Chains A and B, each alone.
Chain A
Amino acid sequence: MKKYFTDLKNDMVILYKGSKLIELFLGKWYLLLNCLVCTLRYVSPYITIYCTSLVITSLTKNAPFREILKYIIIATVSTFVIDIIIRTVNRSCLIMLNNSWYSHSALLSKKALSLDYAKAESASVQMLRGKIEECVNNGNGLSWLATCLSEMIACIFSAVIAVFMISDMVISKAPLTQSGILKIVNSPFLAAGLVIFTIAAIFISVKCHGLSEKKLFHIFNNASVFNTVAEYYNKKYLNENESGKDVRIFDEKPLIDEELEEKIYKPHRRMRKDALKVFSTIGSVSNVSANVLGGMVYVFVGLKALSGAFGAGKVVEYYGAITKLISACSDFAGNIGYLRANSVQLKQEIEYLDLVSDMKNGTKTIDDLDIDNIEFEFHNVSFRYPDTEPLVLRNLSLRIRSRERLAVVGMNGSGKSTMIKLLCRLYDPTDGYITVNGIDIREFDYTEYLRLFAIVFQDFKLLAFPIGENIACDENYSEEKVWNCLEMSGIKDRVKELPKQLQQSVYKLYEKDGIDLSGGEEQKIAIARALYKDAPFVILDEPTAALDPIAESEIYSRFNDIVRNKTAVYISHRLSSCRFCSRIAVFDNGTIIQEGTHDELLADQNGKYHILWNAQAQYYTKE
């Protein structure tokens, strides 16, 4: 019982938060208008029922045509007017609903864009988002909350009217003493019995709805797991060019068929089967009980009318009112069920929207720094990726001096790229801290802080938008500046040749006239993007991996122009790049084992650098 009340309380909290969200997304009037539509929808049949009853009563009494006509016109005209009101108000509601759907999807995207990097990666966050999307696509969530509330209010109205209409039936007495069946019909016990049965039918229907909604929620709640997989296949693996090649050459079809079967179809089938069980058993029980009750009411009302308790007109009225009462009650129950199931979904949504950043976000801006003179320092930094065991960085201490060119080399997995991720605060260190000019980087506002960096990541991604937008990361850009950057990264001529030049989209995922670029060309565009940003600190992680020797050499020889008076970190497996860096840091197993200039390091015959260098240089030193 206690649990029941805490549940109720939690639901109330969600309800409250939800109604605030309704106001935010759907507007102040939505709930009210929706209530109006629902109530009218529930109430309008009573007019028809009541008037039909009046018409039939008048007919049995042979009333004049004029009088009957009055009822007919009242019934039809009011129904028509109500219909028009319903349609019109409903149209406004639909527009509001649609708008909310859009602002809602926009909000979800915005949330995704602003999540902590570590959170953006987490499958559970992705899944939470998946659940919300699923719930919105099924029409659940916020709008559903509004619908449920409105329907519940309408149901109450409907039930009150119905009870009012039938209240005189139970107590109505036949004029003469009767015998046989008719006597039984008029006995108060039978009337009481019918009332009890009605209540029982309502109870059954309420219970069934509650139960089925609860079960269904649990059943459908798991859908997001396979929806995430399905989305990965639909939007990515079975959509993109790179995977398309592998799918064909490696004949991945049987494997993918198996994966789809195991990870999507099987759980889907299981889910549907469970849902079917609920629908067909619980749904049938309430359906049958309502129909049995309907039949009994007809018999009872018919017999009572036969005994002369009331006229034929009332038969129609009572029957209509009782069936409406039952449906109002069961709808009410259903809505409570929906509401409770929905509140769990709403909770997920509120949880997602409330996902707070785990990262400390300071208030300092980069204006607080001397931009011409910035110096980063790692203080005993250790790091492991979230949810994983091994330390990727161990006790790393490193100082990056202002305007220096630092080359970072080392074996695969030695922590070079991870160091960059920590530097630009995609993750915070597990241990230790990083400072810029002596200030802990966590004291800066994050967006502000990122203004310090222009980075070409090893696994950078271009978007399928026009080249100009890709470089400026904005629709509005200075064409001249973009061309300059393209020239510096060595791809200006190629872009000049394109029919739409800077307006040419890359890839065919967004625009149909998009062009596919080679790996080297993509890399040059990524470099141009970093140049365009013109930030004081440049980080290049394997920027020439896909470039041909000539282009690579051009980047090398232009390196000083590219970096100019900035600080630069250059990560590469091509050790030739170390030649134009002022200092080299050799990473091994998450920490720095050597530091110095190329000549110093090479002189150390036993050092790692010596081995690395020779492994590569041996092929180039002799012709």
Chain B
Amino acid sequence: MIVTNKKYGYFSNLSFMAKHHWHGHKNYIFIQLFLAPLGALTSVVAAFLPKIVLDCVENSVPPLSLLTKVTSLALLLCICEYLRNFLSVKSHHERNNARCIIFHKLICEKTMGMDYNNYIYNETRVLREKAWNAINSWEGSASRYLELNFSFISSFFGFSAFTAIIVECNPWFIPILVVCYGISALGWLLLQKYKDSVKDKFSAVHLKLGYVTFRSKDFANAKDIRVYNMTDFLMRKIEKHLKEMQGFYTKKNNGHYINVLIEDFFKFSVSLGAYIYLVHLKLNSSMTLGDFSLYFGAITGFGAYLARLVDSVAEIIESDHNVNDLRNFLNIPDNMNKSVGKPLPDRNTKVEIELKNLSFTYDGADSPSVDNLSLKINGGERIAIVGVNGAGKSTLVKLICGLFIPQSGQILINGTDSALFNRDEYYTLFSTLFQDCALLPASIAKNICLCEEEKIDRKRLYDCMHLAGIKEKVESLPDKENSLLVREVHDGATALSGGELQRLLLARALYKDAPIIILDEPTAALDPIAENEMYLKYSALTENKTAIYISHRLSSTRFCDRIILLDNAKIIESGTHEELLALGGKYAEMFRTQSKYYRQEEAV
């Protein structure tokens, strides 16, 4: 997998974020447009208010004039403050919606939409973790990118306004202030650099910590943890990762501390200098008290704005990197065909599958899991794949149903190369039941039909549940097929036993009713009677379908038209049960091994 660590341009990120906000919450952008000048206006008005009062007092103006002047200015300030408060609350609201909905959705959609063989890598998970952190972090979060840019503009307005005031007093203040805050900006940039440099490590540790923490409270692991007394073992892992995280924070914290000290020092020098200068000026010129207070306010205000400019630049940079992280995850390239593909074979016809010199090696593995394998499965044929553990059965199946891309060779569906089909359309050809699965925290009906509530075909659902032998169980539940699953999420949810779970998975595969059906160990958790029923029903279940059945129970192979024996990533035997027994090869040996325990006469 190609790990993307691309840097996107500033404007590219800006338009990316603007596009998504515009798409989701247009208000957010408008609010920012208003907020930027409003903030500057408010602080200018606030700086003028004491000047006016002092001027009035010093010049002993008529009381009515003071009353009107101050009242109107105070009123203006009041309105500005009210609007600013109102808009920032609104902006905060919209931003949180964006963070928790728009961007959450984007990440989830990418996760679901990416190629399976990208999805399974740890690198992908680290990228996703970085993307999560990017939108959820406190400082410089990607979801605040637009806001930060606007706040920069706002600071710039304020900065300009105060510059105008100061220029009137003494323009030399400006370069001095700029140099002071420039130095402190440098400090923030260095800190940002450190943050960037540890980001990958940080995300990796965060991911690990998240894994152990989640496992330690996940019910699925609870039995093993208790019986094998893993508490201390897991706690040591958690504490180790917490310590690592703490290390990052402490360093960040120290950098922060030094930077604020530098900033404080400049603030101190600037205000001391400004004070002395202004007092000197006041004593030696005709400057009014009001001007004195205005200039002093302006110099400290200017400093504050400069500091905010520096801050917002630092934050924009951090946020910019976060946007990069987010986009790097969202832009993980897919290799499979996502464009318009060849038309699929008609759902009602029998589909023929042909594998031509298929090879596949897992990343980092020495030997291939599927090695130059060729096989033709006729339309409507029932194939059994058997072989020892690790022979490559599951991998082969994953290749056939398009989860993995073969490194070489072709899969032909009715003569068309599978790579030419649209990836997602291709998946509609398959009904599958895999050995391992996870349940959705939703109703049983949704877990079987795997479609939206309104699209559920209740009749078909019940038919499939009946065929899979789980109807009675579901009907015995108070909420029937609407009973919720996953007890960690829903209080009082139904807990399914291993056998029931397998039946539910079978019902899921049947409900989909695709032209190719793949069953990987569908009876492993079933009792002997249910297993036998499954065999007897098998031909009805796979009527008119091309079927692939993987099992270690060799009894099942009787019901298949042909048996393929995989060994070491290759097909070594192929034929019917009788043919292979007669051949006396590995299959015969496996069958004898399994059957000897069932023969009365043989001593064990």
- B217/A617 in contact, CB under 8 A: no
For B111, the chain A residues whose CB sits under 8 A away are: 238-239
Contact check, A72 vs B272: say whether CB atoms are below 8 A apart: yes
Chain A residues in 8 Å Cβ range of B498? 412, 417, 458-459, 542
- B residues 540-598 in Cβ contact with A at 8 Å: 552-555, 558, 581, 589-591, 593-598
Determine whether the beta carbon of A276 is less than 8 Å from that of B122. Answer: no
Find out whether the CB atom of A548 lies under 8 angstroms from the CB atom of B53.
Answer: no
As a 0/1 sequence over residues 182 to 225 of chain B, the CB contacts with chain A under 8 angstroms (1 = contact) are 00000000000000000000000001101111111111111111
Asked whether B235 lies within 8 Å of A299 as measured between CB atoms, the reply is no
Max chain A C-beta neighbours (<10 A), residue from B97, B126, B296: B97
- Whether A114 sits at the interface, judged by CB under 8 Å, is yes
State how many residues of chain B have any CB contact under 8 Å with chain A. Answer: 185
Q: Closest CB-CB distance, B485 to chain A, in whole Å?
A: 11
Say whether B56 contacts A302, CB under 8 Å.
yes
Q: Would you call B57 an interface residue if the criterion is a C-beta within 8 Å of the partner chain's C-beta atoms?
A: yes
Measured CB to CB, the nearest residue on chain B to A90 is B257
Cβ-defined contact, B78 with A258, below 8 A: no
Shortest CB-to-CB span from B452 to chain A, Å, is 5
The CA-CA distance from A88 to B508 in the complex, in Å, is 62
Which of B211, B228, B257, B604 interacts with A473 by CB under 8 Å?
B228
A13 sits at the interface (CB 8 A): no
List of B residues within 8 angstroms of A176 by Cβ = none
Q: If the complex has contacts A84-B261, A284-B85, are A519 and B436 also in contact, measured as CB distance less than 8 A?
A: yes
* A298 adjacent to B53 (CB under 8 Å): yes
A438 located at the interface, meaning its Cβ lies under 8 Å from any Cβ of chain B in the complex: no
A292 at the interface (CB under 8 A from B): yes
B233:A299 contact, CB within 8 angstroms:
no
Q: Which of B367-388 contact A (CB under 8 A)?
A: 386-388
Q: How far is the CA of A295 from the CA of B253 in the complex (A)?
A: 40
Complex interface: chain A residues within 8 A of B598 (CB)? 575-576, 616-617, 620-621
Nearest CB in chain B: distance from A436 CB, A: 16
**Within A264-312, which residues are at the interface with B (CB < 8 Å)?**
264-265, 268-269, 272, 275-276, 279-280, 283-284, 287-288, 291-292, 294-296, 298-299, 301-303, 305-307, 312
Interface bits B512-523 vs A (CB < 8 Å: 1, else 0): 100000000100
CB proximity of A312 to chain B, nearest CB, Å:
5
Known A-B contacts A312-B57, A312-B58; the reply to A295 vs B389 at CB < 8 A is no
CB-based contact B108/A238 at 8 Å: yes
Contact check, B289 vs A56: say whether CB atoms are below 8 A apart.
yes
| Chain B residue at minimum C-beta to C-beta distance from A51 | B275
Q: What is the bound-complex CA distance between A42 and B289, given in angstroms? A: 27
Q: Is A562 an interface residue (CB 8 A)?
A: no
Q: Does A503 contact B (CB under 8 A)?
A: no
A56 touches B233 (CB 8 A): no
Residue among A319, A455, A579 having the largest count of chain B Cβ atoms under 10 Å: A579
Chain B residues with CB under 8 A of A464: 211
- Shortest CB-to-CB span from A230 to chain B, Å, is 8
- A275 nearest CB across to chain B (Å): 7
Chain B residues closer than 8 Å to A241, beta-carbon distance: 119-120, 436
* A547 adjacent to chain B (CB < 8 Å): yes
**CB-CB nearest in chain A for B120:** A241
Task: Judge if A435 is at the interface, Cβ distance under 8 Å.
Answer: no
The main secondary structure of chain B at its interface with chain A is helix
- In the complex, the answer to whether A248 meets B56 with C-beta atoms within 8 Å is no
Query: Are the C-beta atoms of A279 and B93 separated by less than 8 Å?
Result: yes
| B112 contact set on A, CB distance < 8 A | 238, 247-248, 252-253, 256
Listed residue (B92, B487, B521, B590) with the most chain A CB atoms within 10 angstroms of its CB:
B487
Report if B149 contacts A (CB, 8 A): no
Find out whether the CB atom of A457 lies under 8 angstroms from the CB atom of B245.
Answer: no
B306 to chain A, nearest CB (A): 17
- Provide the bound-state CA to CA distance between A620 and B532, in Å: 13
Across the interface, B82 reaches (CB within 8 A) one of A94, A288, A616, namely A288
- Distance (whole angstroms) from the CB of B549 to the closest CB of chain A: 14
8 Å CB contact of B224 from A122, A389, A460: A460
Q: Is the CB of B122 within 8 A of A511?
A: yes
Chain B residues whose CB sits within 8 angstroms of the CB of A2 once the complex forms: none
Q: Shortest Cβ distance from B537 into chain A, in angstroms?
A: 14
B426-438 toward A: CB 8 Å interface, digit per residue (1/0)? 0110101011111
Among B104, B362, B498, B527: residue with most chain A CB under 10 A: B527
CB-CB under 8 A from B349, the residues of chain A are none
- Assuming the contacts A251-B427, A494-B390, A546-B552, asked whether A611 and B529 have C-beta atoms less than 8 A apart, the reply is yes
A238 and chain B: residue at smallest CB distance: B111
Q: How far is the CA of A509 from the CA of B89 in the complex (A)?
A: 39
Among A83, A180, A305, A518, the most chain B Cβ lie within 10 Å of the Cβ of A518
Q: Are A315 and B452 in contact (CB under 8 A)?
A: no
Docked-complex contact A315 and B63, CB < 8 angstroms: no
Contact check, B78 vs A291: say whether CB atoms are below 8 A apart.
Answer: yes
What residues of chain B lie closer than 8 Å to A91, measured between beta carbons? Answer: 253-254, 257
Is B168 in contact with chain A by the CB < 8 A criterion?
A: no
Contact, CB under 8 Å: A256 / B250: no
Interface pair A512/B126, CB less than 8 Å apart: yes
Q: Is the CB of B108 within 8 A of A117?
A: no
Q: How far is the CA of A314 from the CA of B85 in the complex (A)?
A: 30
Q: Is B234 an interface residue (CB 8 A)?
A: yes
Contact assessment for B276 and A516 in the assembled complex, using a CB-CB cutoff below 8 Å: no
Chain A residues 77 to 128 lying within 8 A of chain B, measured CB to CB, are: 77, 79-80, 83-84, 87-88, 91, 94-95, 98-99, 102, 105-106, 109-110, 112-114, 117, 120-124, 126-127
Which residues of B from 65 to 93 have beta carbons under 8 Å from A?
A: 66-67, 70-71, 74-75, 77-78, 81-82, 85-86, 89-90, 92-93
Q: What sequence of 0s and 1s flags, for each residue 243-254 of chain B, a beta carbon within 8 Å of any chain A beta carbon?
A: 101100110011
List, in ascending order, chain B residues with CB within 8 A of A398's CB.
none
Beta-carbon contact of A284 and B528 below 8 Å: no
B495 contacts A by Cβ under 8 Å: yes
**Cα(A239)–Cα(B131), bound, Å:** 14
| Complex: chain A residue closest to B55, CB-CB | A312
Contact assessment for A245 and B593 in the assembled complex, using a CB-CB cutoff below 8 Å: no
A240, B220: Cα distance in complex, Å = 13
> Nearest Cβ distance between residue A22 and chain B, in whole angstroms?
19
On whether the beta carbons of A426 and B210 are closer than 8 Å, the reply is no
Most buried by A among B122, B282, B391, B438: B438
With the chains together, A185 CA to B254 CA distance in Å? 53
| Cross-chain contact of B66 among A99, A276, A302 (Cβ < 8 A) | A302
Binary per-residue interface labels of chain B (473-504) against chain A in the complex, 1 for a CB within 8 Å, 0 otherwise: 10010100000001111111101011110010
Given the interface contacts A302-B56, A518-B394, does A280 sit within 8 Å of B86 by beta carbon? yes
A33: interface (CB < 8 Å) = no
Contacts of B492 in A (CB 8 A): 123, 387-388
> Which among A150-158, A187-195, A551-559 touches the partner chain?
A551-559
| Alpha-carbon separation in the docked complex, A199 to B245 (Å) | 48
The interface centre, meaning the residue of B77, B217, B225 with most chain A CB atoms within 10 A of its CB, is B217
Contact of A521 with B by CB under 8 A: yes
- CB interface residues, A 60-74, toward B, < 8 Å: 60, 62, 65, 68-69, 72-73
Q: Mark B86-122, 1 if CB is under 8 A from A, else 0.
A: 1001101100110011001100110111001001111
Q: When the two chains form their complex, are residues A450 and B440 in contact, meaning their CB atoms are under 8 A apart?
A: no
Q: Which of A87, A182, A510 contacts B261 (CB 8 A)?
A: A87
Residues 397-432 of B, flagged 1 when their CB comes within 8 A of A and 0 if not, give: 010010100000000000000000000100110101
* B305 smallest CB distance to A (angstroms): 18
**Which residues of chain A from 293 to 349 have any CB-CB distance to chain B below 8 Å in the complex?**
294-296, 298-299, 301-303, 305-307, 312, 315-316, 319
- Selected A-B contacts with CB under 8 Å, 10 pairs: A65-B279, A87-B264, A109-B238, A239-B125, A294-B78, A299-B74, A387-B491, A412-B497, A511-B122, A549-B591
Q: A95-B250, A247-B112, A460-B224 are in contact. List 7 more A-B contacts (CB 8 A).
A: A80-B264, A260-B108, A276-B90, A421-B223, A475-B236, A513-B122, A548-B391
The 4 A-B residue pairs with the shortest CB-CB distance in the complex, in nearest-first order: A295-B74, A412-B499, A520-B389, A576-B597
